[in-house]
Amino acid sequence: MVGGDRSPVDGIDVCVIGAGPAGGLIADRLADDHEVVVLDAGPRFEPGDRLKRQERAIRPAYDRPDVWDVGGQRDAHSASGEWFYPLNHARVKGIGGSTLHWQGMVMRLHEDDFNSGSTRGIGPDWPIEYDDLRPYYATAERELGVAGASDNPYAPPREEPHPMPAFEPSYSDSLFAEACEELGIDMHSVPNARNSEPYGDRSACVGYGTCQPVCPSGAKYDATVHVKRAESKGATVIDRAPVQSLAHDADRVTAAIYATPDGEKRRQAADAFVVACGGVETPRLLLLSDSEHYPDGLANSSGLVGKFFMDHLFAGMGGVLDEPTRQNHVGFLTSGCHQFYDEADEEIAPFKLEFFNYDGPSPVGMALSGDDWGDALLERLREEYGNHIGMGALVEQLPQAESRVELDPEQTDDHGNPVPDVRWTVDDRALRTIERANEIQRTILEELDAEITWQVGPEDTGPAYHHMGTTRMGEDPTESVVNANLRTHDLENCWIASSSVFPTAGAMNPTLTIAALALRAADDVGASLQ
């Protein structure tokens, strides 16, 4: 809906709340045969506007939230947990959601990630196996457009090649490869949801290097691809329509109550509802929708809505070499290592290693942040740019009930609703694993004769901004919020499509699994409407 009319639509089969990757895919899939409306809290970001946002992104005065206008009372939140959680650094409210600023890495979870309790002796099992999701993974890779290679000996089995060839290893990858070969560590390519060649109606990547937080060319996938496709099939998309609550009776959602920019409240009815608001706003919406039927929040007979908030933890290390490394020529990862992933057990979590292509300052950032000019600036650039090298790692966090999203009883947003309070805790297993990742990173950098200048270890780790776990899936309605098809146990016409349904986190970037689960949920929603 491009104009100012944000009236509810009559005769709707499916109302999707949230226009990120899950909501976009579900809307597109169901719009073939059903009347669909999509409600999103944020605005549309026009493609022509991205160059302006790219300019913001490269200026030192701006942080990532500023690039996408995140902040203010609309996005207010609390973080009262043991560990501070910088929520606004991790989200974009608007058509496309988090895929507007994500890095674009799309790995499948490993087989043991679905059976952590059975195979690793810790955490719950998922109610589905890898093989249940395998065909949906393949479809998701085609839908997003994934460039990759089948060169990872530790990856789960796949049924077909990636839709596009992998990006070539970077120059710094070649330096890491020499060191890793000496150490017996396997490197392999990283699958990316960006075009290594023209795909669909999107061009190939041209290497701006600002992938996170802005891709100005459209080569990197974002959910507007599927939102627009859904609209072309007849779906209605209403932006700047934050849903305030879900009206319901004992076993069905009857309407989404949303606000308009002029302050009016509207009521969108539908036969089926899909909540696709991410790992924080999804439990918040359910908790805001309490009633006499659900005094503790909608779909919360288990008492688990908001609990088991998880994120991936970061471990990193880097420094400088006495030779050029050509960092910041590539804005995304082209190589990684999963060699240690399946060694996970009760004591050590799964983790993956990442070889950076963007460590150290960029010449643009250095020039804009300094007060020197001419020859002095050139000399400083020659001394400080181009010889940095760095590594990262993502580490799984265990689901813990005390790590959760609640409603803040004291602070409200611009509509007078309690803001989300993220109470984030970190388990000892994850902290031990960060130490293990740091040990491997140090070994590799020392093999390169690098002067190590920075480290992110267990004492100062932070999140990867992957919100998971707050409406977990499971077979037992007393131990989970949704079933294996993402339908809520309590409500027959309400599904949740989000990383919030993950029972465990694994250590792989979650978007491809979000997409695969969304496609599976879309099949179930469609079947229910027959």
DSSP per-residue string spanning 493-514: TEEE-SGGG-SS--SS-SHHHH
What rounded mean pLDDT belongs to the chain? 94
What percentage of residues in the chain have a pLDDT greater than 90? 83
pLDDT of residue 382 exceeding 80, the answer is no
What integer pLDDT is reported at residue 428 of this predicted model? 98
Q: 389: domain range?
A: 152-190+313-395+427-460
Strand ranges across the sheet with 253-259: 243-248, 253-259, 265-269
What integer pLDDT is reported at residue 359 of this predicted model? 82
In a domain, 475, yes or no: yes
User: Which of 419, 443, 460 is where one domain is finished?
Assistant: 460
pLDDT band, residue 208 (cuts 50/70/90): confident
More confident residue, 441 or 214: 441
**Structure token digits, residue 242:** 């934050």
Q: Which of 245-259, 291-305, 358-372, 402-416 has the lowest mean pLDDT?
A: 358-372
> Is 450 in the same domain as 370?
yes
pLDDT of residue 158 exceeding 50, the answer is yes
> Is 438 in the same domain as 332?
yes
In a domain, 412, yes or no: no
In a domain, 252, yes or no: yes
d(CA 439, CA 442): 5
- How many whole angstroms from its chain centre is CA 262? 31
pLDDT band, residue 410 (cuts 50/70/90): very high
Pairing of strands 253-259, 243-248: antiparallel
pLDDT of residue 4 exceeding 90, the answer is no
Mean local confidence (pLDDT), 379-389 = 80
In a domain, 26, yes or no: yes
pLDDT band, residue 214 (cuts 50/70/90): confident
> Is 14 in the same domain as 119?
yes
Mean local confidence (pLDDT), 361-370 = 73
pLDDT of residue 369 exceeding 80, the answer is no
pLDDT in tens, 459-501: 999 999 999 999 999 999 999 999 999 999 999 999 999 999 9
pLDDT band, residue 365 (cuts 50/70/90): confident
User: Which of 460, 477, 506 is where one domain is finished?
Assistant: 460
CATH number for the domain that contains residue 435:
3.30.410
What integer pLDDT is reported at residue 61 of this predicted model? 65
**Under 8 Å between Cβ of 2 and 473:** no
Mean local confidence (pLDDT), 155-167 = 96
What integer pLDDT is reported at residue 396 of this predicted model? 98
Mean local confidence (pLDDT), 422-429 = 98
pLDDT of residue 94 exceeding 90, the answer is yes
> Is 362 in the same domain as 507?
no
pLDDT band, residue 62 (cuts 50/70/90): low
DSSP string for 8-37: --SS-SEEEE--SHHHHHHHHHHTTTS-EE
CATH number for the domain that contains residue 256:
3.50.50.60
| Residue (of 529, 463, 469, 460) closest to 505 by Cα position | 469
Q: Which of 216-225, 291-300, 328-337 has the highest mean pLDDT?
A: 291-300
> Is 131 in the same domain as 157?
no
Strand ranges across the sheet with 451-456: 188-189, 335-337, 351-355, 388-395, 313-320, 451-456
> Is 39 in the same domain as 122?
yes
In a domain, 408, yes or no: no
What integer pLDDT is reported at residue 2 of this predicted model? 46
The angle, 0 to 180 degrees and rounded to 10, between the axes of the packed helices 171-183 and 428-447 is 100
> Is 29 in the same domain as 97?
yes
What integer pLDDT is reported at residue 115 of this predicted model? 97
> Is 23 in the same domain as 127?
yes
> Is 22 in the same domain as 137?
yes
d(CA 87, CA 420): 10
d(CA 528, CA 530): 6
> Is 340 in the same domain as 450?
yes
More confident residue, 380 or 301: 301
In a domain, 413, yes or no: no
CA dist 49 → 4, 21, 221, 434, 490 (Å): 19, 20, 17, 39, 42
What percentage of residues in the chain have a pLDDT greater than 70? 98
What integer pLDDT is reported at residue 233 of this predicted model? 98
> Is 493 in the same domain as 356?
no
More confident residue, 279 or 46: 279
d(CA 404, CA 469): 9
pLDDT of residue 361 exceeding 90, the answer is no
- How many whole angstroms from its chain centre is CA 76? 20
> Is 138 in the same domain as 51?
yes
In a domain, 79, yes or no: no
pLDDT of residue 325 exceeding 90, the answer is no
Count of domains forming the chain: 2
